[in-house]
């Protein structure tokens, strides 16, 4: 079990199918032509770009875009873009060309991978000229500012990873206009405000928006998403997990809502997510019991309910799940562990049951704390806003 890497297998398969010559063999550089504007003046007349490349409008547009981008990269401590000179863009570091799917005789810029380059700057409007891009990876740089609306021109873009940068502003709604997008990763930035409900209508396989400053609620159409991985951790979503989550059953494998201010009871519909391998709702305001329906999640490997205000029993059916390897329910108010739950070590399951109200277990809450919660039972049939009062 592992979360997505920075390049998803789906994107690589797609690019291998559509662009069989994606990774261009790095031959000796062609010379530069004086017919394309650039800032370098040491080229000689006999070093001209071949006629075939000169007639390729796509590469000419890519040259304009990448030169504009280089001009607004203000810090490049590793000199990664030092060879972004001249119109032979297929030899630029981090730029990957491939045969155009509509005309295999010409090359186009199909991918840009600047992961972990420590570049500082912003994305210029000219990036919208890179209309043949299928993936763009900018993970772990110092790019800042807002995303240009011209990104909407990248209609072939399948995968975008902008994680671990300094982008700001509201949710970048421009990504919702990308018809081919399958993988969205904008985690660890400075985005803020509401998350548009339209996000969940997109046919995305992976949604990573964790570690921003979003303030929102999980909308009723949350369950219309087709994603297999949803990571919203470390934002302020509030509200409850809607029952429509059941509609994610055919796709969802990993759901991480850590520290999102989610409240209310866990809906029994969580137990309908039969493909689920990872469920982490720790560090929230969830109340009420563990839904027994979770005992039906045969593929579940990691279950983390820690640091909430849940009560009742820890059901034997959950502890007996065949693939469960890590079960955390510490810092709640559970009062009883059923059956094998009292001895998870015997099943080889890593667990944490500290700071509950479990008799005969060490490191539990005081009787005073536990009694105070007992006096205010939770009614999960009430609506979300009332269930915590």
Among the listed residues 260, 261, 279, the one whose alpha carbon sits nearest the alpha carbon of residue 269:
279
**Mean pLDDT taken over the chain:** 87
pLDDT value of residue 383: 56
Is pLDDT above 80 for 39? no
Comparing 255 with 382, which gets the higher pLDDT? 255
pLDDT at 202: 95
- Does residue 387 register a pLDDT over 90? no
β-bridge pairing 229-231 and 254-256: parallel
pLDDT digits (tens, 9 = 90+) for 195-229: 999 999 999 999 999 999 999 888 888 889 999 99
The answer to whether the pTM exceeds 0.95 is no
pLDDT of residue 54: 42
State yes or no: pLDDT of 350 exceeds 80.
yes
Residue 230 reports pLDDT greater than 90? yes
Q: Is the pLDDT score of 4 beyond 80?
A: no
The full length of the chain comes to 389
User: In the prediction, which pLDDT does 382 show?
Assistant: 78
pLDDT of residue 1: 41
Alpha carbon distance 190, 212 (integer Å):
5
**Percent share of the chain, pLDDT over 90:** 78
Q: How sure is the predictor about 92, in pLDDT bands with cuts at 50, 70 and 90?
A: very high
The per-residue pLDDT for 6 is: 43
For 288-320, write each residue's pLDDT tens digit: 999 999 999 999 999 999 999 999 999 999 999
310, β-bridge pairs: 288
């Amino acid at each position: 079990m592992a979360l997505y890497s920075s390049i998803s297998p789906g994107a690589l398969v797609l690019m291998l199918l559509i662009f069989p010559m994606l990774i261009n063999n790095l031959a000796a550089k062609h010379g530069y032509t004086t017919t394309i504007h650039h800032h370098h003046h040491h080229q000689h007349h006999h070093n001209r770009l071949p006629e075939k490349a000169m007639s390729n409008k796509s590469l000419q547009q890519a040259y304009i875009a990448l030169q504009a981008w280089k001009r607004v990269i203000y810090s490049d401590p590793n000199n990664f873009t030092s060879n972004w000179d001249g119109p032979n863009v297929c030899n630029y570091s981090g730029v990957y060309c491939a045969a155009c799917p509509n005309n295999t005789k010409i090359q186009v810029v199909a991918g840009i991978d600047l992961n972990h380059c420590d570049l500082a700057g912003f994305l210029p409007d000219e990036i919208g000229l890179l209309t043949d891009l299928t993936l763009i990876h900018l993970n772990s740089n110092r790019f800042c500012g807002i995303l240009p609306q011209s990104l909407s021109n990248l209609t072939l873009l399948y995968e975008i990873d902008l994680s671990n940068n300094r982008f700001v502003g509201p949710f970048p709604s421009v990504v919702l206009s990308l018809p081919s997008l399958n993988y969205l990763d904008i985690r660890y930035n400075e985005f803020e405000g509401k998350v548009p409900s339209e996000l969940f209508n997109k046919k995305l396989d992976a949604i990573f928006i964790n570690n921003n400053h979003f303030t929102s609620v999980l909308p009723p159409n949350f369950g219309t998403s087709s994603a297999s991985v949803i990571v919203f951790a470390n934002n302020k979503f509030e509200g409850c997990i809607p029952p429509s989550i059941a509609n994610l059953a055919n796709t969802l494998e990993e759901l991480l809502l850590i520290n999102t201010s989610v409240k209310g009871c866990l809906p029994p519909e969580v137990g309908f997510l039969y493909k689920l391998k990872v469920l982490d709702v720790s560090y929230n305001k969830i109340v009420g019991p563990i839904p027994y329906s979770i005992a039906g999640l045969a593929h579940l490997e990691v279950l983390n309910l820690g640091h909430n205000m849940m009560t009742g029993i820890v059901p034997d059916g959950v502890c007996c799940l065949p693939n469960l390897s890590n079960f955390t329910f510490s810092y709640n108010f559970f009062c009883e562990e059923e059956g094998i739950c009292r001895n998870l070590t015997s099943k080889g399951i890593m667990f944490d049951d500290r700071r509950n109200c479990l008799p005969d277990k060490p490191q539990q809450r005081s009787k005073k704390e536990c009694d105070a919660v007992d006096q205010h039972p939770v009614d999960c049939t009430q609506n979300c806003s009332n269930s915590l009062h």
